[in-house]
Structures are given as C-alpha cells and as structure tokens.
Structure 1
Amino acid sequence: MFPTAAGEAFLTGARRALEEMAAATIDAGRAARGETGRLRLGFIASVLLDALPDVLGRFGRERPDVRLELREMASGRSAAALLAGELDVAVTLGPPRGAGVEHLVSVPVGHDHLIAVVSSAHPYQGRVSVSVDQWRRQPLIVAPVEDESAVAAGLRTLLGEDAVALDGATVARDVHTIIGLAACGVGVGLGPSRMLSAPRPGVWFCEVTPRTALPDLVLSFADRDRSPVLGAFLGTVRRNCPDVGAALDRRFGHA
C-alpha cells in the first residue's frame, strides 16, 4: 500500500515540523544555558590592562556563540547607560552614581593607587619613589577627570595650595597616552598603578609618596537582571577572579 500524493505531502511537512521542533528545543536549551544571545559591556580603557582581557578571552572560548558588544566609555557615561538599560554590565572607576543606583549590584574588581611615570632621560629616572613635593613643581600629565571626581579630589588634596598645577596639566585621553607623552619628555605622568602592566622602552615608573589610593574598579549590573548570558558571564568572572565571586556571594547572601 502506497501513500497518496496528499499523504506524501503531509508526511514531508510533518517530518519538517518535527525537525524544526527538535531544533527549536535545542536552541531554547542553549539560550537557557547562556550559550547564545548578546552581552553589552561598557568599560573604561585602563581596565584592559589587567582583569578584563582574561575574563573576555575565557568567556569567548566558553561561549563562542554569544555576541559581545563592547563599548569603551567614561565611567559616568557607562553608568548612565547601564541605568537606562542600554548596557548589561559596566566596569567603572568608582561605583555608579545617580538616580536608580539602588537597583544595581556593584562589586569591586580591582584596587589601585597613584604612581608616576617619566622618561628615561628625566632626573627622576632610577628613583624608586617620588614625593608630592618633588613632582608638584613639574609639568604634569593627567587623565581627564570630568566624571572621575574622586581622582581629581585626591590629586587636589595631595597638592594642597599648589593644586593650580593641575589646571595647567597636559590632559591625556587614557593611560597609554600618559605613558607615551611621558616618554616624549612632556612631563611627569600621574596615573593608576595598572600602568605597570603596560611597560614600554624609554620610561620609568615611580611610586608616589605618600601612597594615595584611587577609586576601585567596580563591576555593576541590574539586580533584577536574570539573563542567562549575564549569569554565564558572572560565572566566568567568578572562576577568573575568586575575590569577586566571594563579593557577589556576600551581596546575594550566599554561604
């Protein structure tokens, strides 16, 4: 007994429907495990000097089908984008500020302090440390501080009455520019100790005394975000950065 033409058409359609249902089930399972989807991450440039590359590299290997949308932003902008729902995760200098921050989970992912960088031809070359009194009269190179008020406040506190030196400082876009300008002999570059992760010929790094802490690098996300992709990303962060995992556990009340 052979099926009619109508029966053949029905069987073909039924098989196709079953195959599509099986594929949809597989796709749904992958999405539920955070193996597909999109993650939007805002970050400041200097975070690429240490923690973020390892995390992104591992996450990319573990979740090759997740689309990463990476956006370099100043801390104030990325915090605002996170609060507006335009980002899933933000890494900022200091915790996000503004209306709605009570709905964010924020944990430190890096601690830092102020250091100086000079050219190898500078008189400070070879010094282990330089004091505020030594560099306060030097031409300075600093990162923009429009939305990093804690950094600006720390520098102005250090300089005291000579804080006017900051008003005439060369403003660099990021830590790589600070190092490059210092190498050119423009002045004394002041920046985070993360700069030590970006050595280059022709420069010398010095500790600054007194030791001055800078705002923490902070990872933030919406506390109501239950996205599997975000969960997978945080899992990668936990495996790469145990201290951050412990902070997340404390935040969520886990043992």
Structure 2
Amino acid sequence: MEARHLRYALALADHQHFGRAAAALGIAQPPLSQQIAALERELGARLFDRTARGVFPTAAGEAFLVRARQALAEMAAAVSDAGRAARGETGRLRLGFIGSALLELLPSLLNRFARGHPDVRLGLQEMSTCRSAAALLAGELDVAVGRGAPRGAGAEDLVSVTVGRDRLVAVVGAAHPFAGQAEVSVEQLRGEHLIVAPADEEPLVAARLAALLGEGADSPARTGGITEARDVHTIIGLASCGIGVGLGPACMRAAARRGTWVCEVSPRVELPELVMSFRARDRSPVLAAFLDTTREVCPGVGGQLGDRRVGR
C-alpha cells in the first residue's frame, strides 16, 4: 500500500464516481478502477459499493477512510516539519554571553532572530568568557559571545568572529573627585581603588589592564586595592556606592544609573574585541539561521562566516 492508494480512495469517496475522481486526480479511469480493486484485495474487504446512483463507501470503507485522512495529514505534516527543521525554523539554540553584550549587540540580534524564528527554543545563559568557551567546547553551548577569541586546548576546533569593538571607560559615584570630569588619565587611575572583572574569568581584559596600569610597586593592588565584579551592572552599582572607580567597556554608558558619572580614559584604551564563537563542525540549521541573522545585524562579519548559510 502506498500513499497514492490512500489519495485514490479519498478522491473516490469525495466524488462518488470513478470518472470524476479520475479527472480530479489527473489519471485515466481504468487505472483508478484497477488500483481500487487491488487495494480491496490487499485489505481483504470491499471498500466501496458500486451502484447505479454512484460509488459509496462500505462500513469497512468508512473506517479505512478515517485512518487514510489521518495518515495523509501526518505525512504532509512530516514533510512540512522536515522542511522547517532544514531551514532552521525549529529546534534549539543555546547561547552563552557576557553581560556587556546585552548593552549593544544582543538586543537587536536576539530580537530579530526571535521574530524570524518564533518556534526555535532559545537557551540563554550569562557567563564569563572563560566559562562560555569551556561550555562551547564541551558541547553544552552552540554559540558563545565573550571578550577575545577562546584560547587553549580545543580552540582550533572553533570559528571565532569579531562582532564588536569597545574602549575602556571609568565610572564613579557622584561624590567621587572624578565626577564631572570628561576624562581621567591612566596615571590617576593607578592610585585608585578599582572595580574590575575577575582575572580568572576575563583573563584577556585583566591582562590588558595589568599592562596599562602596571605591576609591581605601583600596581592598583598595592596602592588602591581591587574589588572584583562579574558584570557591568555590579561594577556600576559598586561605583555608585563609593567603593571605588569602576572600569569597563564604553557600552556600559547605556546602563549607567542616576548618581554615577562615566569618564573617558586617556590615552584611549581599546579592549579585547567582542567575539562570537561556535564549533567549526556544527552543521545545525538553527545555528546557520542564527549566523544569517548575525550577518544582517553585523554586516562586516559576512566574509568571516564564509558560506555557512541555511540550505547550504
């Protein structure tokens, strides 16, 4: 029994006439009669009564037609579901990201992707660059967004694309001497208590700050002290409490609260690039669809992503 046999039986039941059913199916009447007869022999039951008034389903035929309609509907749904999955319209995407990515990149990217792919389940988790890279290599994430490309064992199996650049700024509470200043110098920062990302979670940022502010006798840890904070909102919050000077990306201006002041750092200090990483061998259509959306939001990354697109 094939799907065409189900369609033939349904067409005959709908039109109640072999000639009209054959015309609707686009075949000649004799083959239709032969196929219905063969189907009845296979089932061992008469499905239709042939009368002068027309062709009508028997009790066995009525029971068969109910299941035939369900089977064809399921087959059509299977074809549709397979096509949607192949186009990345269904499935799951697991994304790990640093908090500052929510200030510029991710709002537009996730909003556009969710609108275009409402049936994709998004698993979103804020985590440090180091943790997200480890989770990506372990297969626990599909995409990671952090500061700088992942390094170390397994990094050669990843594709890493720059999706943003930013510079260092300082944030202070309203009562701090820096409040009201357009900029502060690196020399001024060396004597301040600083609020920064943990070195073990954001090593590239920590290395950049260590090179900038110096190590040894005049390091911040010896002259002013350091408080570690895992995200930009905590850095801003602690600065507003008068704990010290928060250091972070310029995009945290978007999260600055009342009672805080953001200063440029002079000379300008570029932070490690914001990087999106994924496994090179991951051929998931959902990932391909997400990268297509990334191309739309970040036009400059298209060449770095190569030919990885939905349907290729």
TM-score (structure 1 length as normaliser) = 0.92
How many residues matched? Answer: 252
Write the deviation string for residues 85-127 of structure 1: whole angstroms up to 9, x where unpaired. 1111111111112222112111011112211111122211121
1:193-221 CA deviation, whole Å, 9 max, x = no partner?
A: 12122122111111112222211111011
SS of structure 2 residue aligned to 1:126: coil
CA gap 1:14/1:250 in 2 versus in 1, 3 angstroms = closer
Contact persistence 2:109–2:294 (CA under 8 A): yes
Counterpart mapping for 1:20-169 below 5 A: 20-160=74-214, 161=216, 162-165=218-221, 168-169=225-226
Deviation at 1:144, TM superposition (A): 1.4
Alignment CA distance shift 1:250-1:215 (3 Å): farther
Residue from 229, 232, 251 that aligns with 2:286: 229
Secondary structure of the residue aligned to 1:112 is: coil
Letter in 2 for 1:176: H
DSSP-derived class of the 1:87 partner: coil
The one-letter amino acid of 1:159's match is L
Q: Counterpart of 2:281 in 1: which secondary structure?
A: coil
Give how far 1:145 is off: 1.8
The one-letter code sitting in structure 1 at the alignment partner of 2:296 is R
Secondary structure of the structure 2 residue equivalent to 1:205: strand
Q: Is the 8 A contact 1:82 1:90 kept in 2?
A: yes
Task: Tell me, in whole angstroms, the C-alpha distance in 2 between the residues paired with 1:23 and 1:149.
Answer: 49
Unaligned runs of 5+ in 1: none
- Structure 1 counterpart SS, 2:205: helix
Give, in whole Å, the separation in 2 of the partners of 1:13 and 1:107. 51
1:106·1:219 contact (CA, 8 Å) conserved in 2?
yes
- What amino acid is the match of 1:169? I
CA offset at residue 164 of structure 1? 4.6
Percent identity over the alignment is 66
1:231 partner amino acid: A
The structure in which a higher percent of residues are strand is 1
The CA deviation at 1:4 is: 3.0
2-side partners of 1:249 and 1:4: how far apart? 60
Q: Which has the higher contact order (CA 8 A, sep 6+)?
A: 1
Could you tell me how far 1:245 is from its partner in structure 2?
2.1
Structure 2 CA distance for aligned equivalents of residues 117 and 16 of structure 1: 64
- Preserved CA contact (<8 Å) 1:132 1:208: yes
> Which residue of the partner structure matches residue 201 of structure 1?
258
Q: Which moved more, 1:147-156 or 1:66-75?
A: 147-156
Cα distance in 2 for residues equivalent to 1:37 and 1:170: 41
Instruction: State whether residues 137 and 165 of structure 1, in contact with CA within 8 Å, keep that contact through their aligned partners in structure 2.
Output: no
Tell me if the contact between 2:95 and 2:141 (Cα under 8 Å) persists in the aligned partners.
yes
State the 1:251 CA deviation: 9.7
The runs of 5 or more residues in structure 2 that have no matched partner are 1-48, 50-55
Q: Distance in 2 between matches of 1:88 and 1:125?
A: 42
The residue identity in structure 2 corresponding to 1:193 is A
Does 2:302 align with 1:245? yes
Q: Deviation of residue 246 (structure 1)?
A: 3.6
Q: SS at 1:39's partner residue?
A: strand
Equivalent-residue separation in structure 2 for 1:250 and 1:134 (angstroms): 48
Q: TM-score normalized by structure 2?
A: 0.76
Structure 1 or 2, whichever has the larger Rg, is 2
User: Residue deviations 1:220-251, cap 9 Å, x none?
Assistant: 11112221111111111111110122432499
Name the counterpart of 1:9: 63
Change (3 A) 1:147 1:177: closer
Query: Contact 1:116–1:188 at 8 Å: present in 2 too?
Result: yes
Contact in 2 for aligned 1:78/1:90 (Cα 8 Å): yes
48-57 or 209-218, larger mean C-alpha shift: 209-218
- Which amino acid counterpart does residue 261 of structure 2 have in structure 1? W
Paired position in structure 1 for 2:8: none
Amino acid at match of 2:236: I
